[in-house]
């Protein structure tokens, strides 16, 4: 039945449903957001350095193999 409604009425119904669902959402506190943001930043920095050093090691290893088999 909703398929027979004009597009603008379906869109209005969609927006009403979105608003109703957003009222059900439990939003995190500012402190929770800060805490998880700090954890994400620290994790990104850690893995950035980790991958950098792994890249340096493998680059050196491949260079050594290339010079050995030349």
What's the CA dihedral at 45, 50, 56, 59 to 10 degrees?
A: -120
Confidence band of 4 (pLDDT split at 50, 70, 90): confident
Q: Where are the alpha helices (DSSP H) in 1-70?
A: 7-24, 30-69
Q: Cα-flanking dihedrals φ and ψ of residue 19, to 5°?
A: -65, -40
Q: What is the pLDDT of residues 9-61, one digit of tens each?
A: 999 999 999 999 999 999 999 999 999 999 999 999 999 999 999 999 999 99
Question: In the prediction, which pLDDT does 2 show?
Answer: 56
State whether the Cα torsion 18-22-25-30 is positive or negative. Answer: positive
What's the predicted TM-score (pTM) here? 0.64
Kindly state the greatest CA–CA separation across the chain.
Answer: 74
- The pLDDT of residue 70 is 78
**What is the three-class DSSP state of 3?**
helix
């Amino acid at each position: 039945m909703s398929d027979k409604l004009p597009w603008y009425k379906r869109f209005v119904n969609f927006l009403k449903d979105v608003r109703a669902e957003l009222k059900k959402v439990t939003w995190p506190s500012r402190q929770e957001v800060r805490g998880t943001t700090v954890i994400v930043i620290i994790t990104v920095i850690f893995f950035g350095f980790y991958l950098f050093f792994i890249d340096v090691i493998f680059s050196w290893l491949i260079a050594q193999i290339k010079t050995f088999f030349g």
